[in-house]
A and B are shown apart, each in its own frame.
Chain A
Amino acid sequence: MDSLIPLIPFLPFLGFVINGLFGKKLPKSVVGMIGSGVLLVSFLLSVMCFNEVGTGGAIRVQLYNFFTVDGLQADFGFLVDHLSVWMMLIVTGIGFLIHVYSIGYMHNDDGFWKFFAYLNLFIFSMLLLIMGNNFLMLFFGWEGVGLCSYLLIGFWYTNKEYGKAARKAFIMNRIGDLGLLLGMFMIFKMFGSLNYEDIFGSLASVRLDPTVITTICILLFIGAMGKSAQIPLYTWLPDAMAGPTPVSALIHAATMVTAGIYLVARCNPLYSLSPDAMHFVAAVGLATCIFAAIIGLRQNDIKKVLAYSTVSQLGLMFVALGMGAYASAMFHVTTHAFFKALLFLAAGSVIHGMGGEQDIRNMGGLRKAMPITFWVFLIGTFAISGFPFLSGFFSKDEIFAFTYAHGGKVWWGLAGFGAMLTAIYMCRLLYLTFFGEFRGTSEQEHHLHESPATMTVPLAILAGLSLAGGFLNTPHFLHLGNEQWLAHWFSWVIPIQEVHLGEATEWKLMTFTTTLAVIIIIVSYFIYTKKSSVPVPDAQQSGLTRLIANKFYVDEIYDFLFVRPIEKISRLFHYYVDVQGIDGIVNGVGTGVQKLGAGFRKLQNGNIEYYLIGMVAGVVLLLLSLFL
């Protein structure tokens, strides 16, 4: 088994090489088969790993040594333990479904082969990120997924706006990466190693200054903020919707953006030592959760709503991490991967059926034309809203219970408020898209069709997972069986956290949030299926609606505070330092020599008398200098 583990990341890499080099000449069906086939094999191997880890504990594979410099040993090695194998299953499993879906979604795109090459490269990087046994491997994968994200957001690069969105994502991620890098430097300085097991193993024996630990944790969290789109670095994720929809589903909902959660969960022994850093994580998460949910209420682009929903859900996961409920956060990562991938792919199916239309104001009544898409979207919406016994219900409820137990009523109330908003905007999206009358052009109405099987089958599988995914980790007090299975699975890496609230309180909390979710689902049906509730065109918006629809003008504020001053400074440097300074010196030397030459050139006038006069004058001067 150990020798097969390197195949898991390198098979997608092989797919990338084949599709990247020869894909242009291969037929589309072959490209799609290679792209998703390698992932299927990786997924099956991951399942084998899962069994192996379940019986025999973590597997360590040392491939080779990158370099060893003065105590820094950089290894290319894998640590497949309970945490990473779980992430591997999510990445390869959901990744495979999304690859299959992409075959249908991208079938008449010229860059079909390129798309699959990029997707495979992404899976390779993501697997290195989660399978690496040290921070350097993690960083390698971290940058790799950032690059793939850039390439795929800007996939339709002929559109200038899309290119800008890609650059924005790349640059904002760089800001976070700086934090991660500084955190890694500090870890190396303090522990003398970058290997996870060395670091976390030495925590018990080494006495460290709490402020150092807090600094390391916060620096690592800044990296997570960039990758997982938290305030203040979240603005790239909504713009990242410029990429093809499968990309949004795979990278910007299910896998890459959860890398930040994985990082914090992986470093849980460090975070547990620093209550201050945990508070910071929870506070940022909560702020993001509510802020993004509010913006999501007034977005009219089907993908933008889902993007803000993703930001908000990631915020909720960070709340869980900040409350010390690492396993609950990972549980929510899992269920979120199911239902958010489902929602994005269903949205992609809608966009596909509508011929590229993304504005929900031009949709409506799609449930008749696209029944499968409608049903899976409904399941996804109910799952994320916390409808009883769907996946989101279990994972969110666990987070709320921890928030109540560790953070108190105020934290619980705010997190619940965020979840309530989630239910509202998701129902708004569902009802406006699939219910009521069709509001698009008649041309679009004729074009409307259900998507092909390559798209609907992955949707159906994901819908099944969204329905049942919650039973991976049920709470004790419901006595459903399989109690806290996932938490026990992670207990090798993450110590089990118990909620000590008592069954009565837990029942009360759950009843309250669930009733609220169900009420919202029912009430918003009556509100949003009415014709009058269709959002007005942008120009007619006023007041608060306008403010929210424009995302609180955060992009404009960033633009004013950072982008433009930097641009101005760059221009100044460009003009005064580069053009005038450096270019000035270089050109000055050239023109100076030229002018000097032109001057001396006049002496060489070809006239013998001048030369003679020069010679005589020279001799006279020589004699004068000798005798005087």
Chain B
Amino acid sequence: MLEIIRQIPIDYYVWLSTALFCIGVFGVLIRRNAIVVLMCVELMLNAVNLLLAAFSTYLSDAQGQIMVFFIMVVAAAEAAVGLGILVMIYRNTKSTDISLLDKLRN
């Protein structure tokens, strides 16, 4: 397993996770549907997870993988809270469009 992973150069992992992260960023910026925005946030977190796991394997250091678990826990908690807020927003506005959420303006 370790051999297989190491057959692929580390550069590829970096490029892949950069691409995923950028997709996540642009998704957050461009999309207005709150669910998609949350998914894009997940995408960014997991892009980082991938990178951490890859480097952890290459360097034979378990610390990176421990970090991945922490991130996954936080991401799960974030998704739970985020989706909870989202449900409430939907109940109030009948919409999941985040650009409508500007009540604090002025």
Contacts and interface: CB of A to CB of B under 8 A. Distances in A.
Interface of A: 604-609, 612-613, 616
A609 B25 contact: no
Contact of B106 (A606, A607, A612, A616): A606
A403 to B, nearest CB: 91
Please give me the 6 A-B residue pairs with the lowest Cβ-Cβ distance, nearest first: A606-B105, A606-B102, A612-B29, A606-B104, A608-B98, A607-B102
A608 B25 contact: no
A608 B103 CA distance: 11
B99 interface: yes
Interface string B25-69: 100110010000000000000000000000000000000000000
B101 interface: yes
Contacts of A607: 99, 102, 105
Most buried by A among B29, B32, B101: B29
Given A606-B106, A607-B105, 13 more contacts: A604-B105, A605-B102, A606-B104, A606-B105, A607-B99, A607-B102, A608-B99, A609-B32, A609-B98, A609-B99, A612-B29, A616-B25, A616-B29
A613 B102 contact: no
A612 B103 CA distance: 17
A184 B44 CA distance: 89
A605 B105 contact: yes
B19 to A, nearest CB: 16
Contacts, number: 24
Nearest to B101: A608
Is the interface on chain B under 10, 10 to 19, 20 to 34, or 35 or more residues?
10 to 19
Contacts of B29: 609, 612-613, 616
A616 B102 CA distance: 20
Interface in B65-106: 98-99, 101-106
A612 B104 contact: no
A605 B101 CA distance: 12
A340 B29 CA distance: 100
Contacts of B106: 606
24 contacts: A604-B105, A605-B102, A605-B105, A606-B102, A606-B103, A606-B104, A606-B105, A606-B106, A607-B99, A607-B102, A607-B105, A608-B98, A608-B99, A608-B101, A608-B102, A609-B29, A609-B32, A609-B98, A609-B99, A612-B28, A612-B29, A613-B29, A616-B25, A616-B29
A166 B104 CA distance: 65
Nearest to A613: B29
Contacts of A608: 98-99, 101-102
A605 B103 CA distance: 11
A237 to B, nearest CB: 70
Nearest to A616: B25
Contacts of B99: 607-609
Contacts of A613: 29
Contacts of A609: 29, 32, 98-99
Nearest to B32: A609
Nearest to B31: A609
Contacts of B25: 616
A608 B105 CA distance: 11
B103 to A, nearest CB: 8
Contacts of B104: 606
Contacts of A616: 25, 29
Nearest to B105: A606
Nearest to B28: A612
A44 to B, nearest CB: 83
A607 to B, nearest CB: 6
A616 B104 CA distance: 22
B38 to A, nearest CB: 13
Contacts of A604: 105
A605 B102 CA distance: 8
A612 B101 CA distance: 14
A613 B25 CA distance: 10
Contacts of A605: 102, 105
Contacts of B101: 608
Contacts of A606: 102-106
B37 to A, nearest CB: 9
A607 B104 CA distance: 9
Nearest to A601: B106
B49 to A, nearest CB: 19
A612 to B, nearest CB: 6
A604 B104 CA distance: 10
A613 B28 CA distance: 9
A606 B99 CA distance: 9
Nearest to A619: B25
Nearest to A609: B29
B10 to A, nearest CB: 19
Contacts of A612: 28-29
Contacts of B102: 605-608
A612 B104 CA distance: 16
Most buried by B among A604, A607, A609, A613: A609
Nearest to B30: A609
Contacts of B98: 608-609
